[in-house]
Structure formats: C-alpha cells, structure tokens
Structure 1
Amino acid sequence: MATMKEFREERIKKLEKLHSMGYNPYPAKANRTVMADAISANFDTLNGKSETVFGRIKSIRKFGKIAFIVVRDFSGSVQLFLQAQNLQPSNSSKGFIGIEDLNLLDTGDFIEATGEVIKTKTGEVSLALSELKLITKTLRPMPLDHESFTDKEERLRRRYVDMNVNIDVRNRFVRRSKFWQATRDFLNSKDFIEVNNNVLEVTAGGADANPFVTHMDALGQDFFLRISHELPLKRLLVAGFEKVFEIGPRFRNENYSDEHLPEHNAMEWYWASADWEMGMELTEEMIRYVCDKTWGTRQFTLADGQQVDFGKDGEHFERISFVKILKDQYDIDVFESEMPEIQAKLKAENLEVEKTDNRIRSLDKLWKKYRKTIAGPVFLVDIPVFMQPLAKTNASDTRLTEQFNLVFGGSEMCKAFSELNDPIDQLNRFKEQQKMRDAGDDEAQMLDIDFVEALEYGMPPACGLGYSERIFWSLEGISAREGIPFPQLKSEVDETTKDIYPDIKFN
C-alpha cells in the first residue's frame, strides 16, 4: 500500500497539471441551491428540476463514458450521475471539469455539481450532471468508509479527520452547541442578562483551584487566567444588575482526567433576591430544559452503566447530607473528629494521605469516594461553613452553609448557594483560606480585597450557580478529551510529517 508521502506526491502532480491547464484549484466561493439530504427527502418536489450541490467527494467510479460520484455535505450524501454527452467538457476559464479529466479529481476533493434530479435505473436518487467544478484540491486522502480510523491518539491529534470519518463524533459537537444554546435560551427566557467579563485577573478567586499565570507587558504585571466566573458577576450585583450570567472558558492548572480538563467551558448565573431554595427549583427546571433541547430525553445510561432520570416537571430531586454521609459511611464527625482519626480512615479506605492535606481536603477525599456510587440526580446539602468561603450560613444550623451541589453519575455537576454578602464574615473566611495557602495548599482561595470592598458598598441577597461542560460529557457517556473538538496534547511531530517537510526544522 502506498505511503502518505506517495499519495501526497501523486496529488501534487495532479495539482500541477491543473495549474498548467489554467484551472484555479482553490476558487474563493462555491454555489449551492440545495443540501444533499434534501434531494432524497424532497424527491417528489425536486424531480426533474436543476439543482446545484457542493461538498466533498466520498467515492468515484468511472466506466468508460459514464461515472458515478458520491458527494457529501454537512447534511448527508447524494449520488452524482455523469454521462459524457450530457456533461460540459473541460473548460479552465469556466472551471468545468469534463469526464475526460475526471482522473484529476480524488476522494476528499471539494466539488460543485449542477444537474437534473432523477432516479437511476436502479432506483437511486441522483443528480444527472451537466456541470462539474473543482472547488478545493486536496493533497492528503481522507480514510475511506471501510478503512478504520480508531487509534485514539491519532483521532485526537487529527480531529478534523476524525470528524470526517466518524460522523457520530461530528454530531456530538452539534449536540454540544445545542447544550450551550439551550443553557443560554433558558436563562434569557428567565430575564437573565449575559455579560462577558475578563479572562485575565489580578486575583484568581471563586473556586478551589490552582491558576495559570501569564504576564501583561503593557502593565508590567503578572495576571492569572480566571478559575471561575463568580466574583466579577457578583460585583455586577453590587453594580445594580439583578440577574446575570456568563458562558465562557475557565482555566485550572491541574491534571487531566476523564472528568476534568485544565481549560473548559462553564456557565455561572447570579440572581439577586433569591436564596438556595429558589435556586434548587430553578436548577431542576433548567437541567430538564437543557436535556429536552439537547437530547430530547431526560433518561440516560452513562458510560459506567448508571441510569439517570431527571424526572417530570415539578418533581424535586432527593437531598442528601454531607455530614450524615461521612458519619454513616466512615464514622467521621466532620466537626469533631481529629485529623489523625480522619487520616487513619483515609488509609483504611486506600486513599492517599499527603503532607499538605488539611481537614477540608481530607474530608473531601472521603466524600468523593462515596460519591462515585451515586447515580442521582440528588442535591448534596449540609456542607460545613469551613469548606465553603463564599456561601451564606444556614440559619437553622450556623455550622452549615446554604449550599447545594447537583450530583449524578458519581460526580458533582453543579455547585450553588445563597451568596455570602456580609463583608466582615467574607473577609474573615478569606483570611482562613489565605492561611491554608500559606501552609502549602495551592488550591485554597486567594484573599480578594477588592471583592471585600465591593461587598462593603452592599450586595443584595442572591443565589448563584455554576456548571461546566462536564454535564455534557457525562450525559454523552464520554471522557473529557472526547468531549471537546481539539483537546490539548503534548506537542510532537510524527516521522511522516518530518519526511514530507524535510526543509523545516521542527522543535
């Protein structure tokens, strides 16, 4: 079998031939009157009419003075039927490719084809061509349908090939678009205002995460890439906005996993005058709306076989207690148990004990182990104040916050709470977080004095919620890297590329 270099060299010869004949193999536009799938779907209406399609060649079969080409666009495929006596002959000034020069075309090339909608003798809906134009000459062949393109590393590095060969992968990203559009549409329908805030921040806040650092030459100062949308959106509540949200990327300089990417998209909303109970009802309504619009169902089978059903409108998700779970499952009192006891339990559960572990990280490890068993959906509640520096204290038990986390598929998919708006309390909690950072906890939150000063001007009571595209990945039953079009991978250049471009010095 020919190598990629040999395929490429053969196509370059065809490209040079086209140039020598006066063709432009890369014109600026293509014409189209109908999508490929509409020809079959609307055959009774289109039968006998002249239509123009534009797409990529999937296959070419030539038999003397007749030929068949299958062309595919975003909607699907259609067969083109070519007869020498009916097809315009080659004419470089008009861009026509006649059947005599069909050998200059290859699978993968983009073409524009005009002809009459017919059914062949075998009953295949087709276009009987009168005109054929080359729109883009390709130098590398796409794998054919019968050729596998399943190597995970290769698929992720050349996702543009993956989506051509594996249409289900491409369709996944259509659903990803619908997921975020449904999120936006739902919030717009509830009179939330979308705002885009800065990605670069002087202080990274709003989450327990290690930030990326960059430098702005214009100001001669280091900045952090945001780890959360939270604090700027809450500043907008101080500014007089009452319902705001943002959808966009956030960055957390942490390891890759099936559930996490250092760069990912997320959404957060903030609703002045609402508390966590109102937030839970809105979350139930929103997740059902997004599922309906994205997948057309509320019932899912996840990658590990867990069944998730988001239920009927008006039904409430079960609530489970963080405090009770750790007591029932591990006999740990989150308030009273000493660190040696907690660390002993971590070891007994075969969980890692690190020197920098503090109470918060240790309790969280125990919870996360149990969390894997929860299919959900449930709301996790009763989260201690010392574990959440940005949430309001629960009036019925001041040791707890008014926080809820949506849990399904063994993961926490949404985090929300009644927002802390007491500036003195907020400052004290920031100080506790800063002590943790000083003790070596890189994920503890930074002390953001500007946010404290904003609270001193007055922020109304509010509920806020955030979720990331991890919800999408989970309901699709895929890993995080499979869930984005072009995941980051360690840079490398394969030997084929080095062989094809010998004059380029690769790092």
Structure 2
Amino acid sequence: MATLQDYRDERVRKLEELQQLGVNPYPATSHRTATAKQVIDEFATREGQTVTVTGRITGLRKFGKLAFIVLRDMSGQVQLFLHAPDVAELDAASGVLGMKQLNLLDTGDFVEATGEVIKTKTGEVSVGVKTLRLLAKSLRPMPLELTNKEERFRRRYVDMNVNPEVRERFVRRSKFWQATRNFLESEGFVEVNNTVLEATAGGADANPFISHMDALDQDFYLRISHELPLKRLLVAGFEKVFDLGARFRNENYTEEHLPEHNAMEWYWAYADWEDGMELTERMIRYICDATWGTRQFTLMSGETVDFGADGEHFPRISFVGILKEQYDIDVFESSIEDIQAKLKEHNLEVEEVDNRIRSLDKLWKKYRKTLAGPAFLIDMPVFMQPLAKVNANDPRLTEQFNLVFGGSEMCKAFSELNDPVDQLNRFREQQAMRDAGDDEAQMLDIDYVEALEYGMPPACGLGYSERVFWSLEGIPAREGVPFPQLRSEIDETTKAIYPDLNL
C-alpha cells in the first residue's frame, strides 16, 4: 500500500520533469477575470465570453482527446472542459501546459485556465479551455476526508480544504467582528488599539503571561483585558472609545475558554449601566442579523436562545436573589464555612486558597448552567467587582450587568468607578487577596489611580470575547479559532523526508 511519502516522491518526480521542460512550477503572476461562482451564476450573460479562472484542482479525468478538471476557488467550483484540438500546446516560457502534460498535474495543484464559458453535452456549465497554466505544484495530496480532531487542529489548512464548512465558519467570524466595529462606529465610537504588553496586568481576574523586554530590562505582562488603557483614554478626553484584539489569560483550555482569544471592550463617557443595557440589546441583535441573518440559535448544549424583536428588553436576574433562593446563602452575612458547606453539598470543589468571592462565584456558576437566556445578571456585590461604581439604591451592590445566555456570562459591563480614593481601596483589597495566594486577583495599578486623580467622567463600559461567537455557532472554543495552540509535535513522515534537519 502506497504511503504518504510514496505519493510525495511521485509528485516530486513530476515537479522535476516540469522543471526539465523549462516550466516554472511556481510563477508569481496570474490573471483571473472571473470566479467559479460568477461563471456558474452569471452563465446567461457570460455564455460565449472568454474568461480566466484560477483555483485548486479537486478532480481530474482524461479520456483520449478529452479531459475534465474540477477547479475550486473560495467562491465554489467549476468544471474545465479540455478538447485536445482546442487546447494550446506546451509553452514553457509562459507556463502553459498542453494536453500531453496533463499527466504531470495532480489534485491539489493550482492552475489558471482561459477559455469560453460553455455548456457541455451533459448540460454542465464549464470553461472550454484554450490555455492552461500551472500556478503552483502541490507535493502532498489532500486527503478525501479528515475527521480526527487532533489532525484537524494540527493541519487546519487541510481541514478547511477537506471540510469547507470549517472555512465558512471563519468567514462568519470575520463578519461577527466587522459587525461589531460597524455598530460601534455608527454609534460614534472611535477604535483605538492599545499596547498588548503592560507593566501591570489589570481589568480582569486572570493569571497573566509574563514576558521580558530586553530594551527596558523589565518584565511585562501580556494584557488580560483592554479595560484600564481605554479608561485612561476617557481621562484623555475621548468620550466613546473601543479596542478590539487579542488578550491572554494563562489558564487551561475548556470548551468556553482559550488562553489566547480575541475580545472587544467599549467605554462611553456620560453614560451609566442603564444606557449600557439598552445599547447592548441593540448591539447583539445587530451583530446576529449581520453575521447569521437570524436571532434564534441552537447552542452546543441543545438549548435554544432567541434575542427577540427590536425594542424588547431582556429580563433581569439578581445575583443576591439567586444565591438566597437556590442555596439559602446570604451573600453578605453567610460565613465562609456555610458557603463551603453548600459547595460540598452540591458536589463543587473546595480548594485551600478559596475565598469568599471564589466560593460564591462557584455556586452562581452551577445555577448559571441552567439559564438559556438571554438575561441580564444584576445585583453584584461591591466586594466582587473592584472596578464598578456603587449602586445608588444599595451601597452594598455595584451598577453592573452581565449578559447571560447558554449557561454562561457572555458580556460584563458596569457604570465605571471613577473615584480614585475608592478605587485605591478596592485595589488594596484585591492585592491582599493576591498576597494570600489568589493569582487571579487584580494587581494594584497605582498609575491607573494616578490617572483617575486627574479626573475621569462618569462612564459605562462593556467587554466581551469571541466566546459569544463560539456559543452562537454551537461549537467548543478550539473549533472557533483557525489555528489553536497545541503541544509541538512533528510527524514521522516529515522527519523521514527531512532527515538532515534532525527534527
């Protein structure tokens, strides 16, 4: 049975034969005038016209003086019809191949074909080829199918060829983020991209990645959030600002989380959390319409979520109320021992470094899994959110809302804390938790406190990651990024092909 290396050896032989003929197997130029989809969809107006199409060969059959090639580009596929008397002979200088050189082509090769738009005797729309040029010779054959998850993730470029629906997902991912930008810009927000390396990692509860900058001989953190630099921009005079890009959290892979992922945060001066909730309702609906053309989704869990009609408000649920109703826990009064007893009762892990915040959060997350949503989670205690403004109606609570659907919190937002004294005190509390062993507690950022002392207007801010996209696609996290990180590994075939590299 032929191995991958056998197939590769045969293609290398063909490559060498092409080179001996004087053909450049990897020319720099091509001259496409129509996509495969245009040829098919616009046949009525293009019939008889000469077009040039380009793409990858996915099928090749030759019958004497006739040959049929299936050509695929990103738009779709079209048939190339080759009739020997009509096809130009070999012209090595131009990279043109004749019928006699078709045996040097393989599936996976990229070619350029010029000819008339026709229909064959079987009624299939085709390009009647006059000239055929080689654009790139492939040395490894594409598999007919690819289902092994590990292989799919390692060779996503193969996965997207064999499973085109995977590639289409990333087209939608692009639309998702473009829709986010379009909506915010239409609302008057300005995109400002801030640095990824930060002297202090802040804005979220997460363990950061650490790097070292030789130029300054100082350690820096890869940002875990976009938040604090954006709020510094409010101090600088921006009134509506957002940033969209990668953030990094040194945590384990789950179906909902990746250590590196894209996220967006916006900040809106002179707005509060009520304004933010109304904007969020409109934003998520706009994004759903622009990306999927629907507001109704079936999630990976099998649950359905419907974001409803314009003007409808999402229901609100109370963090304090849920923990009282579901677990008989008073968020403010129950002892840590009582809370941990409830964790054990509900088969939730109790760790040595667990504190009140982490323990309450575990109880909430267990209940959260039952919520299809959408809904806004409100009534978050001050001690659980160091960056949010105190609720004017109850000083124990913050003006925070989290968009919940599919059993997860997908957006976090609040009226931003702009009191530098209050902010410093909350940072002190978080730093004490870090000093006690909580690596995810927030760092004390004195530079940010200093910025607040110059004055920041009242504002609302919101952030979400591409977990929103993964959830609405109904896929786990690693399916939702083109090239997920994996432990480095080189397969045995590659090692055998390049023994001199000592891989």
Fold shared, TM-score > 0.5 on shorter chain: yes
| Structure 1 residue aligned with 2:176 | 179
Percent of paired sites with the same residue: 75
Correspondence for 2:403 among 406, 411, 427: 406
Q: Which residue of the partner structure matches residue 436 of structure 1?
A: 433
1:445-481: CA deviation from partner (whole Å, max 9, x where unpaired): 0000000010000000000000000000000000100
For 2:490 and 2:94, how far apart are their aligned partners in 1?
40
Kindly report which structure 2 residues correspond to 1:7-156, keeping only aligned pairs within 5 A, or say none.
7-143=7-143, 147-156=144-153
Letter in 1 for 2:352: K
1:29 deviates by: 1.7
Letter in 1 for 2:69: I
TM-score (norm 2): 1.00
Q: Secondary structure at the match of 2:460?
A: strand
Q: Distance in 2 between matches of 1:393 and 1:352?
A: 31
Tell me, in whole angstroms, the C-alpha distance in 2 between the residues paired with 1:29 and 1:203: 48
Per-residue CA distance 1:295-338 (angstroms, 9 max, x = gap): 00000010111010000000000000000100111111010000
**Partner residue, 2:156:** 159
**Partner Cα separation in structure 2 for residue 357 and residue 500 of structure 1:** 52
- Please give the alpha-carbon distance, in whole angstroms, between the structure 2 residues aligned to 1:148 and 1:15: 25
Note if 1:270 corresponds to 2:283. no
TM-aligned CA deviation for residue 148 of structure 1: 2.1
Matched, 1:311 2:308: yes
What is the alpha-carbon distance in structure 1 between the residues aligned to residue 267 and residue 457 of structure 2? 11
SS at structure 2 position matched to 1:383: coil
Partner secondary structure for residue 503 of structure 1: helix
Select the residue among 225, 228, 241 that pairs with 2:225.
228
**328, 336, 359: which one pairs with 2:356?**
359
Counterpart Cα distance in 2 of 1:155 and 1:328: 45
TM-score, normalization: structure 1?
Answer: 0.99
1:255 maps to 2:252? yes
Match of 1:246 among 231, 243, 248: 243
Deviation digits for residues 370-397 of structure 1 (CA, Å, limit 9, x no counterpart): 1000000000000000000000000100
SS in 2 for 1:77: strand
Query: What is the CA–CA distance in structure 2 between the aligned matches of 1:280 and 1:212, rounded to whole Å?
Result: 32
The one-letter amino acid of 2:399's match is E
CA root-mean-square deviation:
0.5
Letter in 2 for 1:18: L
**Deviation >6 Å, runs of 4+:** none
- Alpha-carbon separation, structure 1, partners of 2:354 and 2:115: 70
Q: Deviations over 1:169-198 (max 9, x none)?
A: 000000000000000000000010000101
Which of 204, 214, 218 aligns to 1:217? It is 214
The residue type equivalent to 1:106 in the other structure is D
SS at match of 1:380: strand
1:291-330 equivalences under 5 Å are 291-330=288-327
Q: Deviations over 1:231-275 (max 9, x none)?
A: 000000000000000000000000100000000000000000000
Q: Distance in 2 between matches of 1:135 and 1:453?
A: 59
Kindly tell me the number of residue pairs found equivalent between the two proteins. 503
Where 2:67 maps in the other structure, the secondary structure is strand
CA distance in 1, matches of 2:497, 2:95: 30
Structure 1 distance, partners of 2:193, 2:37, is: 38
The residue type paired with residue 331 of structure 2 is V
Separation in structure 2 between the aligned mates of residue 204 and residue 100 of structure 1, nearest angstrom: 64
